[in-house]
Structure 1
């Protein structure tokens, strides 16, 4: 990896194409993770989204276990676990076990959004009213609970006048690195207040990043775990041998994002040829152009220069790329060669 480039990491939503089963999509993710590991990428994070036809990343802890077992060096984590969907103890137990199995390689990224529609949120909460306002309002307390439960000494709970020690796992010797994630200034403020690492979802909106990072850095309070602010940038990326080919490969994901942003029915990700046949509706050309301008789409030199420029602009030494390159018809369903090539060309 070039010394002029920031450190590179990967964000993976485990995309499901129209020619894939869920098993195929997982196999393609494991192959992509091995490529990232071999190339020296710093970390590999897996998202949490639910009930989406084109996304198989529904359960980060399960996927992290698979990816960590398939790799040897790279840090593996969640980008992120949507904490209001889960009991804090369950999250603490899951990540304590992952850290015990892969010490020094596990990141726990925590978010506040539901990561799905209201009906699925309701189902995630066992029919108990969905991701309620109460669960969201208690987010800072939930974060504290996860942090405390994963400490080797655990946390003391007072129940019926007696103190009980609650530990996520019986004999921990280390804890995962815990990050707060967000797409608004809420998590920036909270991460600064608690002295935690923080990541803004630049790949999702591309707007408000500078303001969120400035808020985080200016209000940061040092903690025993972190002496100064720590953050990085996330960006959608599609890199190919030529800029024209990269633009072609990016089209399926651009159409997915158009559907998401405009409330259209979501589908499995199209092949490149199907996306070209469908094309971009005239009414949405401006939206596609605006999104593409915020992504890294181009040939190798152009893309690497753009990543370095983004790192300098936002004052970060790490960029996490979400490889969005689509697949041509006839591609092995258990692979994503254009996604792998994006990583290889960026790492040259």
Structure 2
């Protein structure tokens, strides 16, 4: 059975403030830690009322401080939005505070609308995509104890993310395209495919990554994780109900509408029906514990990966505590128990 990890976008429901959503995420992270899951990653999205995960390093600090053993990371930091040195320093400080527990997953998408992306880059006309391979390599080197050497005129400066690094965060490359798969292989980095929103092309991308893989000092063999949207409940019918709010959010996003706060289950059920969403949800794993465990194991076997990262997307019923996400926690509990 595959090992389990978590990707959290920190969804904000209609009954929540941002503070409530953060409190719910801390509770979810503690649940994952108690269940013995491998890692807990936070995404980077901007200017979206439905998503609170805007700053992965800050969130990583909160999660790492609230948990005991689980690895904590970004899924991912959208590197074109940031200076590699700043990200390296943030991550290195977290690794110094929590040795052996920090990951940094890197992506090249903006994670935002064009205007927000422009402001994140301080008005620079370049979108950072062209320099992405060099930026990844630079950040990776900055996190190592040896750091990098920078030539300025006739002088050479030694540069590293912390004054004295004794351990280094693990760097992963994220993506949903052939480009990221090829680059991860060429750099000898572990690779995470965003199966949860791509839904297709997963096998091809992972196969390309393995063909392109060049062994590195830290990674002698290819290593992959796939991410899947998952909802697990005691019954299949209840799981389908809990998946509806997120499915409607994805429909609004794909149809060009504003991504507002996520509806509660009862409000989603009472809303006018949307067109069939099979194309959006066919890659999701939704059902009772046995069905979900079987599908998770099958997906991991098909992809040849020994770890699967689940994005628990279950909604919430009306009348519950706004600072908790009980159905998301139950998804992790039921799935972990069924896979044990």
CA distance in 2, matches of 1:128, 1:172: 32
Q: Does 1:67 align with 2:60?
A: no
RMSD: 0.9
CA distance in 2, matches of 1:237, 1:280: 22
Structure 1 runs not aligned, ≥5 long: none
3-state SS, counterpart of residue 282 of structure 2: helix
What's the CA shift for 1:279?
Answer: 4.1
Query: Which residue of 2 is the match for residue 18 of structure 1?
Result: 14
CA distance in 2, matches of 1:25, 1:220: 39
**Alignment partner of 1:219 out of 200, 212, 220:** 212
Query: Which residue of 2 is the match for residue 87 of structure 1?
Result: 83
3-state SS, counterpart of residue 129 of structure 2: helix
CA distance in 1, matches of 2:183, 2:206: 12
For residues 2-17 of structure 1, the aligned pairs below 5 Å read: 5-17=1-13
3-state SS, counterpart of residue 66 of structure 1: helix
Structure 2 runs not aligned, ≥5 long: none
Does the 8 A contact of 2:71 with 2:102 survive in 1? Answer: yes
CA distance in 1, matches of 2:192, 2:259: 27
3-state SS, counterpart of residue 158 of structure 2: strand
Tell me the TM-score normalised to structure 2 length: 0.98
Q: Deviations over 1:243-296 (max 9, x none)?
A: 000000000000000011111121100000111111432xx21xx123332101
Q: Deviations over 1:112-171 (max 9, x none)?
A: 110110000011112333xx24x1100011011101111112211111211111111101
Does the 8 A contact of 2:184 with 2:190 survive in 1? Answer: yes
Query: Which residue of 1 is the match for residue 96 of structure 2?
Result: 100
Query: Which residue of 2 is the match for residue 117 of structure 1?
Result: 113
Tell me the TM-score normalised to structure 1 length: 0.95
**Alignment partner of 2:254 out of 240, 258, 261:** 261
**Alignment partner of 1:296 out of 285, 291, 310:** 285
Total equivalences in the alignment = 337
Q: Does 1:177 align with 2:173?
A: no
Does the 8 A contact of 2:3 with 2:37 survive in 1? Answer: yes
CA distance in 2, matches of 1:169, 1:279: 54
What's the CA shift for 1:197?
Answer: 0.3
Query: Which residue of 1 is the match for residue 54 of structure 2?
Result: 58
CA 1:279 to 1:302, structure 2 compared with 1: closer, same or farther past 3 Å?
farther
**Alignment partner of 2:40 out of 41, 44, 65:** 44
CA distance in 1, matches of 2:273, 2:164: 55
Query: Which residue of 1 is the match for residue 225 of structure 2?
Result: 232
Q: Does 1:321 align with 2:325?
A: no
Does the 8 A contact of 1:80 with 1:110 survive in 2? Answer: yes
Does the 8 A contact of 1:18 with 1:268 survive in 2? Answer: yes
CA distance in 2, matches of 1:128, 1:218: 36
CA distance in 2, matches of 1:62, 1:85: 16
What's the CA shift for 1:308?
Answer: 0.7
Does the 8 A contact of 1:255 with 1:280 survive in 2? Answer: no
CA distance in 2, matches of 1:312, 1:144: 31
CA distance in 1, matches of 2:193, 2:172: 11
For residues 303-342 of structure 1, the aligned pairs below 5 Å read: 303-342=292-331
CA distance in 2, matches of 1:269, 1:279: 15
Does the 8 A contact of 2:147 with 2:160 survive in 1? Answer: yes
